[in-house]
Amino acid sequence: MTTRWTYNDCHFLRSEKPRKTQEEGKDQGSGATSLRKVLLRSLSALRQRLMMAWNPCDVRFILVAAALAFILLQVHLFTTQTEYAERLATAIGAENQCSSHTRLLIDQISMQQEKIVKLEDLNRRYEEESAQLKTLVRDLEKKSLQTIFEKAEAPVAAVVIMACNRQDYLKRTILSVLKYQSTVASKFPLFVSQDGTNADVKKEALSYSQITYMQHLDFEPVHTERPGELIAYYKIARHYKWALDELFLNHNFDRVIILEDDMEIAPDFFDYFEAAATLLDRDKSIMAVSSWNDNGQVQFVHDPKTLYRSDFFPGLGWMLSKPTWEELTPKWPKAYPIFSLYLIYWIRHVAINSKLFNEELSLTCHTYWDDWVRLKDVHKDRQFVRPEICRTYNFGEHGSSMGQFFKQYLEPIKLNDVHVDWKSVDLSYLMEGEYHKHFAKLVSDAQSVPEPDVVLKAKKLDYDDGIPRTAYKGVIVFRYRSTKRIFLVGPNSLAQLGIDHD
């Protein structure tokens, strides 16, 4: 067994023994010095042998362990660096991709902005060209109309047919009008006003040399005021205002007759309106003259010469004057609001029948511009002239009003088929003061029919702002399969007519 000494053990021996020798050397004298030298040489030799006896394998083991530790450290550092490098590369790639998308979006936005600028410039040029064309057309129309007027007498009224997208209806209406207008064309210049861009309607209107074509282009979106309202009513109201402004304010006509694109006219249509124009000019209590009778079904009419005044605006082929339009145009309605069909039904059929409704109650459930004209605040107690037998016939089963009540009320209407010489008919009885006395006498001379069954059959009346349809002073007059008139008299009608009621 080999005993290994460390360098420290040798050093201990070396330091202890000289100290012991010194203690003993006090007695031995100088011989100790020589012994010390010998001992030191022995220890030095022993030290050298011990150093030479060190195993080289221990050094290699340490070096291998250190090398392995170094390699592991390098591998760990390399792995960490690789991971961070990959993350950095991914981040750089994402940043580059984001930058690329950003540049692409910027380029696209720039291209769109350039397109917008070009479109705005193009639109501006189109608007300028359109304005120039409109001015040119207006000037040409005025010149052509002036030429017509110079060659003939002043017109009685312009006649405008309001059209939109029903080419077949428009053709039927135009042919009916031209059939009787050709002999009085100078008195009644004919216009077609189209709302929108329907190509078939425009082509149809432009195919007649006797007609002046007008086009209403309205691209402003319609915003209804209440849910359930029909956009068509708003567009129609805008079209009416535009067309009447054109004819009264730009063309400067004194009177205008408004027809719709689903109407046929009677043989004496133009003579009737020419005679009525004098009434319209002389009597300011007459707001308009109509060719329509809402109760003009064949079983309720008889005399083609009879005319009436009414507090209810009939519409459907009517004439008004320029001063009246100048009053109406600033406050012309957008469409006039609809609350709901259920509310209208309740008011007109439940409240009326259950006596919760009377003449003084003002209805506000209107859905169209003509209902607006029927408001007392609008007509201001002025009245309307209407015939007993209609001078227009409405054949439009399909349209904006969706054919409501056509079969029941419009289809049975009688269109006058005889020519009345209106120039020989005395219409002075229709003047305000004369008519009141004339109508009061008719009612006063009528035989009273108090039977409740007759009264009950006539209780479902149609009102607008408290005024029964076709009524004058609350009295509705019609005939029933005979020449005799029947008067439905309201609760306050006799008092309004100045008739004593016992």
Q: Catalytic residue numbers?
A: 370
Q: Please name the residue ranges forming H helices in 152-183.
A: 167-181
Q: Hey, what are 264's tokens?
A: 């046929």
CA distances from 57 to 3, 60, 61, 98, 170 (A): 18, 5, 6, 61, 119
In angstroms, rounded to a whole number, what is the distance separating the alpha carbons of residues 128 and 119? Answer: 14
In angstroms, rounded to a whole number, what is the distance separating the alpha carbons of residues 137 and 133? Answer: 6
End-to-end CA distance of the chain: 162
Q: Hey, what are 178's tokens?
A: 């031209």
Q: Are 468 and 476 in contact (CB under 8 A)?
A: yes
Nearest to 469 by CA among 301, 289, 295: 295
Q: Which residue has the tokens 């079983």?
A: 299
In angstroms, rounded to a whole number, what is the distance separating the alpha carbons of residues 498 and 444? Answer: 10
In angstroms, rounded to a whole number, what is the distance separating the alpha carbons of residues 413 and 406? Answer: 10
Q: Are 252 and 350 in contact (CB under 8 A)?
A: no
Q: Which residue has the tokens 């109650």?
A: 361
287 membership: H or E segment, kind and range: strand 286-290
Burial of 479 (0-12, 13-18, 19+ CB in 10 A): middle
Residue 54, amino acid: W
The pairing of strands 158-163 and 263-265 is unpaired
